[in-house]
Structure formats: C-alpha cells, structure tokens
Amino acid sequence: MFYGEYNHGIDNKGRLILPSRFREVAKEHGIEKFFVTRGLDRCIFMFSDQQWQLEEQRFKNLSFTKQEARHFNRLFFSGAVEVVPDKQGRFIIPQYLKDFAGIKKDAVVIGLSNRIEIWQTQSWQEFFSKTSVDFEKTAENMMNLS
C-alpha cells in the first residue's frame, strides 16, 4: 500500500508533510487518521487506523507476566498518538517522538507496505549504507527461512 522514499522537512510549526503519493493511497483506502509511535532502530512508526487496530490486538495479546512484553508494550503504547493530516497532508509529530528519532528539521519518510517509517535523514543514510551492501545476502537468508 505505502511504498517509496521521500525527503521532507519539518516546518517552523513542527509539522511534517505526508508525501503526496501516500495521501493519494490514504484517500483511495478511506484512511483519514494515523497513529505514530516509537519504532525500532530509532525511527517513528506510522500506521493507518485500520493497521493500528491489528497491531494493537496482536500486542495486547502478549502476556503481561513476561517482562519483555511489558517493556515493549509500555514503550510502544505510551508513545502512541493519533494524527490527522490537514488538507495539505501536514501533521504534527510530538516533540518526544522527534527527540526519540533525533529528528530536528529534516526527515525521510519511507513506505513499507502496511506501515510508514519516519527517520532522521542522517540515521536513514547510515542505516541504508550499512545494510544495502548485504541486501543480496540478506535476501538469500530470508528466502531460506520460508
């Protein structure tokens, strides 16, 4: 559903713009609101309302008696906030999430099918540089898992 890599800046009001292609997809699928929260690898995860409900159900089913599950759920859900982009596709990312991801004024917004990730530009470039070299090897290993 969401695909591609887009560079965007944070405006002086703290808003990020959802890439136009993502806005088109959202409109096609009747998506009006999203949820953003702490992601993995120091990025921000962004889910459509429908996908958020699926993720929430999956994580709610983790046993609260397991310490790792409690820790994950605390960080994941305490960071979550609903966002509704305006007509131009702009939305505010809370400061605590920008701090978590190290985002100050520039961001990379990437589509990963059922979710969107928002990265601090330099962090994304470093991640991409490190992992893209082993892309073929990773693909081989992943295909052997199935």
pLDDT digits (tens, 9 = 90+) for 28-54: 999 999 999 999 999 999 999 999 999
- Residue 74 domain boundaries: 2-145
Q: Is the pTM of this model over 0.75?
A: yes
Between 73 and 16, residue with greater pLDDT: 16
CATH number, domain of 134, equals: 3.40.1550.20
**Residue 146 banded pLDDT, cuts 50, 70, 90:** low
pLDDT digits over 102-112, tens only?
Answer: 999 999 999 99
* Per-residue pLDDT at 109: 98
Torsion of CA 110, 117, 25, 95, to 10 degrees: -120
Domain count, the chain: 1
pLDDT digits over 104-145, tens only?
Answer: 999 999 999 999 999 999 999 999 998 877 777 777 877 775
